[in-house]
Every structure is written in C-alpha cells, then in structure tokens.
Structure 1
Amino acid sequence: MKRDQPLREGFTTGTAASGAAKAATLLLLTGSAPPTVDVPLPGGGRMALPVAEAHLAGDTAVAAIIKDAGDDPDVTHGAAIGCRVSRLIGAADGSVVVDGGEGVGRVTLPGLPVAVGLAAINPAPRAQIAAAVAEAMRLAGYDGGISAVVTVADGEGLARKTLNPRLGIVGGISILGVSGIVRPFSHDAWQTSISESLDVARALGHDTVGFSTGRRSEALLRAAEPELPETALMQAADFFAFALAEAARRDFGRIVWAAFGGKLVKMAQGLQNTHAHRGDTDFSALAGWCAAAGWPAGLAQQAAAANTARHALEMAPSPAAKTALVAVLAGEALGHMRRFAGPGPSLTLLVFDFDGGLLGRFGEKPYSSLSDRVISS
C-alpha cells in the first residue's frame, strides 16, 4: 500500500454484534432478515452492514456479520460475529437482555468495566446491541422481551492472540468499541487493553507495573524482574506516552519499561508513539548522542547515515562505546518518560541488546523539580 493512499476504516466487534442482533431479531419477529442491516453507532451516526448468515432454529433466530477492521491490524478481522435471539417468556415491557455465548469471554478478575462473572461485553457495545434490537422490535411492532446472546466463531482461539488471558477474560474475545468505528492505526482496542490491564493490576493491589513493546521484550522483562506477577506485566506496543500517562493516573508507585535499542532511540526523541509510521528516526540527533557518548567524531558522523537505529548501534567501535551510547540515550528517554508520567512514580528503564543481553538498567526516583532528578545505571 502506498503511504499517500487513504486508509480504509472498519467497524468494531460491538457494531458487528449489533448488526447480527438486529438481523436475527427481524428474522425472529417478521420471518425474514434483510441482506443489509442498518445499526446505530455509540458515537453517533449509523452504519449499514451486510448480513452474512441468517436462519431459524426452532424458536431461535441466528444471524452473523463478518467483522471488517478495514486497514487496521486486528485479530478479529474476518471473524463471524453472531447473535442468537429468542423471546423472553413472560416479558411484556420491551426489555432486551444481552449476554455472551460461545467465543465471548467471561470476566474473572476485578478492575474491568464489566463485573466479574459477566460476559466480556463492554458497556458501550452492550448498549449498542440493545438499541439495535429495540429498533427491530419497534419495526416489527413487538412489545415483549428479547434475549440476545452474542457469539464469535473460534473466539477462544482468537483470544489467545490478544491480552484477554492476561486480563483474566477466559473462553473468548471481548466485545469492544467506544465509537463503533475502527480507524486505521488509531489502535483503540489496544489502548483499551492497556487501560484495562492497568485497572486489573490496580484492583489486585500491585504497586509496580511493567511495560514492554512485544512478546520478546516482555519475556526479557519477566526474567529481569522475576518478582513482578504476570498481571503486572503488559505489552504497550508503541504507545509510549499513553501507557505512562495511564499508569501514572492510577497512582502506581513504580513503572518499569523494557526496550530494545531501536525503540530506545525513538524514546530518546520523545515520540509519543514509537511506531515506524508515526515518526522517523532522527539520525542527526543520534549522531549528536554518539558524540556525547565519546565516540570518535568521524564515526559519530557516520551514524547519521546509518540505515536503521540498529545499524547505528552496531557501528559502536567497542562494547564500552555501545554501553556509553545506551546510557546517553537512556538519560534522554527517562526525561521523556518523566514528562509523560509526571512527578509521581519511580521509573526504571531496562535496555536490551538485539541478542537479548541486558545493556543497562537505568532509573529515576520520583521528583517534583528538575533539581531532584536522579539517574542511576
């Protein structure tokens, strides 16, 4: 894809479930389901969705929508989000009961926006699903009650590729979506997972949280900080500023961040998001940091022409020179970590080499002014 091409938007699992619920309700109450179904969005507006499946099974109607995440990387893209709808016996008040079935996770830990024991359907999509069903009931002239059970094909398998197991959500994925729309590279679902992971860690009484950019750095973080429980570890991906601010907002006493050299350079630049598409490496600044680390002038200038940050680090004339550069970069990165986290928490930055070796452990104690700043390695 060319970078100047507009990126295609998609829709959330909550919107898909709303479409399936409305189509199934229409089928149950009128005997037919439309080829496309129009649903309300939590953030306002509406969206028309193609109905992939609709059939009757005795007193139950079943429908499904294929989740389309647009150009956003999303493990649920292409998944069949379904809903089983049936009449609530004895209800005559237009009530709608929303629950989760196969492939939808159940909450087992506190701290999430959904209570322990309930299906992992967040408040906004739960209300969206209920509103879509209510629309179908009005169209059909039905004033009884409806039960809507959301399902996800292979939801349990998909959940293993998400943070749900870490959050204590078992048996499937979560039904998410604050706006109902997936905007490419906004990564709303990932940011929600970070926030919810922090809520769980806080609810479990953890005072320290550990961030990493992915599975490999998380494994190294776990080995370097073995006292941290799994529920205190979370993959923040490229959301550098967001994760720090969210952790500080919940008053954690200590924040640990694990990074490789390439991400360290982005952190030293102070980029809020360290993804490759969000900001290029500033090799001119990197050359200046090489000089500050004591590299020979000519070699420091060569770093400005490096292909990647990793390439620049591998240009170090000795292990000591690499260690010195990492220390300079870590000092810059810690300054930005403090800027994003504020004065409250103690900060620890672990920097790993590309072969997994620990290049340095750097820290800052809480401070309220620049004169209080303490960096140790």
Structure 2
Amino acid sequence: MKKKLRSGYTTGACAAAGVKAALLCEAGESWQIVELIALDGTPLTIPVKDVRQTREGWQAEVVKCSGDDPDITDGVSVFTRVRHISCRPPEIHFRAGEGIGTVTKPGLSVPVGEPSINPGPRQLIRRVVADVLGTDQVPLEVTIAIPAGKELARHTLNPVLGVEGGLSVIGTTGVLRPMSEEGFRNSLVPQIDVARAAGFQDLIFVPGKIGERIALSWGLPQQAIIQTSNFIGFMLEAAAERHIRRVMLFGHIGKLSKVAAGVFYTHNRIADGRLETMAAYAAAAGLDQQGVQAVLSSNTTEDALSVLTAAGLRDTVCRVLAERAGIRSERYLFGKMTVGAVMVTLTGDLLGLDEKAKAIGEEFSWNLPQ
C-alpha cells in the first residue's frame, strides 16, 4: 500500500497562528493549540511553543512543520510579535524582523520597500485578527522574524528576485502539500516578472547553475538570466503569457539535446533520450554505424562528444541540435515567441548556437568565445 504523505503548514500559517496565540494570551485565554482555517478552506491545528509579553508587545513562537515536504524551513522557529499602535485609518501594519527579507526590485507581489510577507499570509493574518477581535480594522503592528532566515535565504531564489536580508513569508493558502512540484515550478515564475519590471524583453533561460555561470562569464546580464530547473516548457509558456519578446535557451548539451527532441520537462526520470538524440542527428550527418553505437554506449553526453569530435562532426551536429532546440521551442509555443539556443560544455566551451540566439547575444553585447 502506498504511504499517504503528511501535509504541513507554511511559514505564513505559522505567523498567523502566532498572531492568534498572542492575541488570545493577551486576552487571558488558552493559546497553546491554535485552530485556524486556511485560505482554501482546510482546517489547521497548529501547536504554539511559547507566548510571552515583551517591552515591544506580545510575542509568540511557532515551530514550522513541513509534513513530508522537503522544505528548508522545516523545524525552524517563526516568531510573531503583535503590538497595539496609534494610526489612521486603523489597520494592520506588517514589519520584517530578523531573517525576513525586504523587497528591493519591482515585479513581485509585494511593492518595493515592503517586507517580503506575501499577500496570502497577510490575508490569513487579517482573518485571525478578525476572528479574535471581531474586525481586522484595528491599529496593530505585526512583526515576523525567522532568526535562521538570513542564512537559509542563500539557498533560495530570493537573492535573484531582489529580496534582501532573509526569507520571504510565503504560502498561497497556508497548507503545505508534500512534494509539491506545482509549488516549486510556480516559485520560479516571479524571476520573469522581476526581469520584465526591470525593462528586459529578451531573457536568457538557464536550466541550472552551470548555464548561469557560463552566461555571466560571457557578459550576459544577471537580471535577464532566469533559472528554469527542469521546467523549460512551463517557463517558456510563462514568458509567452507575459509577452516577452525573445528567449535564449542557454545550457549544457545534456539538457538542450532533450529540448531538440521535443522534451520540455527534462528531469532524467521523465525523459532521458540524450544519447539517442545525439546518435540520430550524428547518423543523419554521416556518422557510421560503429560511431553511432559508440555514441549510444557512452556514459555521458560529454563522452559522446569525443566520438563526434574524432569523426569531425562535433560542430555540425551540435549546431543542428541548437537550431532544433529553438525550432521545437517555438513550435511548442505555437509561434507566440522567438526562441534561440546556445549549447555549451561543462567547462563553458561553445558547442553550437543558432542565428536567433546570436542576435539576442549581440544586442546584449556578449563576449562570444572565439
């Protein structure tokens, strides 16, 4: 029998539970276990580790539980401090405490200068305030802190998105579904919004850090570089929906050879026809049967390149693969956007590119290796 994975709750739900616990404790009511309704209607029961009164207000501590989701904030403490203030109109003001980032670039769901507390958590917090006090139109300051957040943020996209100083308080509903592929891929999309808000209509898509490192070494702008992970097709569609003009796919032959074959979700457990694709195009370029077998028997695409190099076909095959990656991408989008491709080795050697990628690179004044 397949094991049912446990759901957890988001940092936003932790903060909301902390707010409710603090207000309950202030009112002399029980606060140790907090019940709230997530934004999708799911009931949540969240234990509260501590509530205490400080000089700055009532502070609660909730320990994040991610269930069976491999979330980097699992087990960290989320502190929420509630303080009554005087303001007109009466409303809730959100503040970033230790380990919570501040938005510094436009294009995100929170304006520049605001603490990176997303709309979902803000709405959830307003709900729990109304639940305890009868209305959310109250002069209240809510400060959220995750002391471990500054270090943990280094392992997220926050530095790329322009969220400085720590983590974002996130969560669309408050419920953390285990192994949420949808949540992960959706977290990549704001990179496009930030780049677009910065004025970029041409973007460079890189599947991982290898492509990013090499693209930067060629002089391509950091703000235009978008991490796609394995979700190349999904990210292409997101760019087309936002009316991006052109995209340059920039990456290792192992990823882009899959795109050349029409594969747009490139995880190796889903599609791993890299060597077969290289062998097919090498055969079409004239590689003999023995050479084709050698390509198919290679351990990696880099090994297969040595076979193509020995046969004098490396540049020809890789150029065609790059061209096909661009063509298949445009076909995938039904011609809604121009897509070019640049294919490189692990060490940054140029293997192949098409004219569309070259045109984008020249507009960026890149330093194309000779």
TM band (smaller chain): 0.7 to 0.9
- Could you tell me how far 1:220 is from its partner in structure 2? 0.5
Alpha-carbon distance in 1 for matches of 2:305, 2:69: 31
Aligned amino acid, residue 28 of structure 1: E
Q: 1:311 to 1:67 in 2, by over 3 A?
A: farther
Partner of 1:75, secondary structure, is: coil
Partner of 1:350, secondary structure, is: strand
State the match for 1:182 in structure 2.
Answer: 176
Aligned amino acid, residue 280 of structure 2: G
Alpha-carbon distance in 1 for matches of 2:19, 2:146: 13
State the match for 2:46 in structure 1.
Answer: 49
1:162 to 156, 167, 170: 156
State the match for 1:191 in structure 2.
Answer: 185
* Post-superposition CA distance 1:347-368 (Å, at most 9, x none): 2211111222111222448xxx
- In structure 2, runs of 5+ residues without a counterpart are 358-370
Alpha-carbon distance in 1 for matches of 2:6, 2:315: 43
Alpha-carbon distance in 1 for matches of 2:281, 2:166: 47
Aligned residues of 1:104 and 1:173 also touching (Cα < 8 A): yes
* Post-superposition CA distance 1:188-232 (Å, at most 9, x none): 5543443222222222212221121222310111223x2x43221
Partner of 2:44, secondary structure, is: strand
- Within 5 Å, which residues of 2 pair with 1:330-345? 330-345=322-337
State the match for 1:126 in structure 2.
Answer: 122
Aligned residues of 1:23 and 1:63 also touching (Cα < 8 A): yes
Partner of 1:172, secondary structure, is: coil
- Within 5 Å, which residues of 2 pair with 1:228-307? 228-281=220-273, 284-307=276-299
2:317 to 300, 318, 325: 325
- Could you tell me how far 1:114 is from its partner in structure 2? 1.1
* Post-superposition CA distance 1:272-300 (Å, at most 9, x none): 32123443436545542332233221332
Alpha-carbon distance in 1 for matches of 2:49, 2:268: 36
Aligned amino acid, residue 116 of structure 1: V
Q: 1:54 to 1:86 in 2, by over 3 A?
A: same
Aligned residues of 2:323 and 2:353 also touching (Cα < 8 A): no
Aligned amino acid, residue 170 of structure 1: E
2:194 to 187, 193, 200: 200
- Within 5 Å, which residues of 2 pair with 1:57-136? 57-58=54-55, 60-89=57-86, 95-136=91-132
Aligned amino acid, residue 327 of structure 1: R
Alpha-carbon distance in 1 for matches of 2:269, 2:23: 42
1:356 and 2:348 equivalent?
Answer: yes
Q: 1:57 to 1:242 in 2, by over 3 A?
A: same
- Could you tell me how far 1:15 is from its partner in structure 2? 2.1
Q: 1:126 to 1:272 in 2, by over 3 A?
A: farther
State the match for 1:22 in structure 2.
Answer: 20
Report the aligned-residue RMSD: 3.1
Aligned amino acid, residue 19 of structure 2: A
Q: 1:142 to 1:280 in 2, by over 3 A?
A: closer
Q: 1:152 to 1:129 in 2, by over 3 A?
A: same
Q: 1:22 to 1:280 in 2, by over 3 A?
A: farther
Q: 1:344 to 1:62 in 2, by over 3 A?
A: same
Q: 1:101 to 1:279 in 2, by over 3 A?
A: same
- Could you tell me how far 1:60 is from its partner in structure 2? 1.9
- Could you tell me how far 1:310 is from its partner in structure 2? 4.5
State the match for 2:360 in structure 1.
Answer: none
- Could you tell me how far 1:268 is from its partner in structure 2? 2.5
Q: 1:325 to 1:185 in 2, by over 3 A?
A: farther
* Post-superposition CA distance 1:122-159 (Å, at most 9, x none): 21221012213332335xx9996543211112222222
Aligned amino acid, residue 121 of structure 2: P
Alpha-carbon distance in 2 for matches of 1:92, 1:27: 26
Alpha-carbon distance in 2 for matches of 1:56, 1:319: 75
Aligned amino acid, residue 119 of structure 1: P
Aligned residues of 1:155 and 1:172 also touching (Cα < 8 A): yes
Q: 1:210 to 1:185 in 2, by over 3 A?
A: farther
Aligned residues of 2:92 and 2:140 also touching (Cα < 8 A): yes
Count of residue pairs brought into register by the alignment: 357
- In structure 1, runs of 5+ residues without a counterpart are 366-377
Between the aligned residues of both structures, percent identity stands at 32
- Structure 1 stretch displaced more, 75-84 or 338-347: 338-347
- Could you tell me how far 1:18 is from its partner in structure 2? 1.9
Aligned residues of 1:176 and 1:189 also touching (Cα < 8 A): no
* Post-superposition CA distance 1:255-281 (Å, at most 9, x none): 112111211233223333212344343
State the match for 2:361 in structure 1.
Answer: none
State the match for 2:362 in structure 1.
Answer: none
Alpha-carbon distance in 1 for matches of 2:312, 2:158: 41
